[in-house]
Amino acid sequence: MSQDFETAVDNVVTTLINLGVDEPEFRDKVNGLGLTQYDDLHTANQNSRQQRMKEALREMRRQRFLDQFEDPLKELRPMDNNFLGAVDALFEATLKRRAGWYTTPEPPWNSHVVKEGGMVDREKLRSGIEDMLREMAPRRVLYITGDGELGKSFSCQLLRVVAARRGIEIAEVDLKYWDTGTDGASAEDVAKSFADQLGLEPPTPQPNTTPTKKGKDLAIGLANAIRSKKPNETPWLFIDHVDTCSAKTEEIKPFIQGLARLAAVETRNFRLVVVARKMDEQTALGQEAARRAVKEQVKAIASSDIEKYFLDFAKHVNKNNFSANDARAACQEAWNRAGGQGNIFDLPYCLWQIAEEKLS
């Protein structure tokens, strides 16, 4: 066990005794947890109440239920700030094993990990999200491209983390959802999905109109609904697989370009994220919006990226004895679990599993 943990245990027990908490009172709290019996815990010095109380805390940590003892422990002297501070220090020294120890750091766009998987590299993506959240003169459109199976779609997970931590609504559309048989997504399908997710009335296209005008009108209708019903909010719209789906291009292209122009040029109160594999940004967003967009060219994940991920996360949870060699071993284990070097489909989830095992 780390020296920090032992120091914290010593401070808690010493403070308790100085506050008049004797062993029977402490024993009742341990036994009240119902997970172990105080008298079943043994230490090398059975004649010392301090050693027995410390051993109880050590054993609960070893058995992975010390976090459940936080509230009962604080109830022993809930009005003493020094004691409560000592307890907080104890749980910091246990590498944040409490519920939420994996909570992403602030700012959330620099997130190391979420339960749904680890976020590695993507430095430009992170800075782009930060820029898009600024109150003054932000970028409003993010365009993500790159070869297949590099984690472009998984970028939305980072956006979900940011949205949750900032109280922002996010609506997501995967254009492949409508790839059934020869049919693909229409602009009306996508606009309705966004509206439903945001609790808005779906826009309706004008009858007997051209596909191009239909796409543009639906973009304007959706943007107008957001501005009318959510004037003080800034929802994010995420559109995936723009050039690898069977969508009705003659409608979808002007729809996406319309949204991009409304966000980037007319500065409407929403943000747009568009994901494609090979399409250039001017084709996807239109010339004006493309000039104002943040672009992220996703590249392959390198082992050095994964090693940095583990080292950064170890620092986040105060695991200071986690070395560069440990990070290299964890990286190799991540590749093995993901199916080999370069296979990233399961990599985010493997990263989370290994972080949980080695850093908690």
How confident is the model over 205-254, as pLDDT tens digits?
888 899 999 999 999 999 999 999 999 999 999 999 999 999 999 999 99
Q: Count up the domains in the chain and report the number.
A: 3
Structural domain contains residue 117: no
- Which is more confidently placed, 6 or 259? 259
- Label residue 13 exposed, middle or buried (CB < 10 Å: 0-12, 13-18, 19+): buried
Segment 4-22 mean pLDDT? 90
Average pLDDT, whole number, for the chain?
A: 88
318: left (phi over 0), alpha (psi -120 to 50) or beta: left
Shared domain check, 277 and 143: yes
Distance (Å, whole) CA 254 – CA 9: 63
Task: Give residue 38's domain range.
Answer: 3-93
What does pTM read for this prediction? 0.73
Structural domain contains residue 243: yes
pLDDT of 6 reads: 86
**pLDDT (tens digit per residue) in 288-339:** 999 999 999 999 999 999 999 999 888 887 777 889 999 999 999 999 999 9
pLDDT over 90 percentage in the chain: 55
- Residue 51's pLDDT band, with cuts at 50, 70 and 90, is confident
The helix/strand/coil state of 138 is coil
Shared domain check, 285 and 307: no
Segment 80-102 mean pLDDT? 74
First to last CA, the chain: 13
Structural domain contains residue 66: yes
**192 with 183: CB under 8 angstroms?**
no
Distance (Å, whole) CA 309 – CA 137: 31
Segment 255-279 mean pLDDT? 97
CB-based contacts of 356, cutoff 8 Å, min separation 6: 102
Shared domain check, 208 and 238: yes
Shared domain check, 276 and 156: yes
Shared domain check, 258 and 234: yes
pLDDT of 342 reads: 86
CB-based contacts of 336, cutoff 8 Å, min separation 6: none
The helix/strand/coil state of 113 is strand
Question: What radius of gyration do the chain's Cα atoms show?
Answer: 26
Any idea what the CATH number is for the domain that residue 197 is in?
3.40.50.300
* CA-CA-CA-CA dihedral for 201, 202, 208, 211, to nearest 10: 150
Distance (Å, whole) CA 122 – CA 299: 8
Task: Please identify, among 297, 317, 348, the residue that sits at the C-terminal boundary of a domain.
Answer: 297
> Which H helix or E strand runs over 228?
helix 211-229
* Residue type (1 letter), 227: R
Shared domain check, 184 and 140: yes
Beta bridge partners of 114: 117
pLDDT of 97 reads: 46
Distance (Å, whole) CA 282 – CA 62: 57
**pLDDT (tens digit per residue) in 133-165:** 988 889 999 999 999 888 899 999 889 989 988
Structural domain contains residue 99: no
pLDDT of 1 reads: 44
Tokens 């998987």 map to which residue? 117
pLDDT of 22 reads: 85
Shared domain check, 129 and 214: yes
Q: Residue 314 has which token pair?
A: 């170890």
Shared domain check, 204 and 162: yes
The helix/strand/coil state of 20 is coil
pLDDT at residue 68 is higher than 80: no
Segment 105-121 mean pLDDT? 79
Distance (Å, whole) CA 324 – CA 332: 12
Shared domain check, 201 and 342: no
**165 with 236: CB under 8 angstroms?**
no
Shared domain check, 152 and 273: yes
Beta bridge partners of 92: none
Structural domain contains residue 105: no
- Residue 132's pLDDT band, with cuts at 50, 70 and 90, is very high
pLDDT at residue 100 is higher than 60: no
**296 with 142: CB under 8 angstroms?**
yes
pLDDT at residue 18 is higher than 90: yes
Structural domain contains residue 284: yes
Structural domain contains residue 315: yes
Query: Among residues 358, 280, 346, 287, which one has the least CA distance to residue 319?
Result: 358
Beta bridge partners of 296: 144
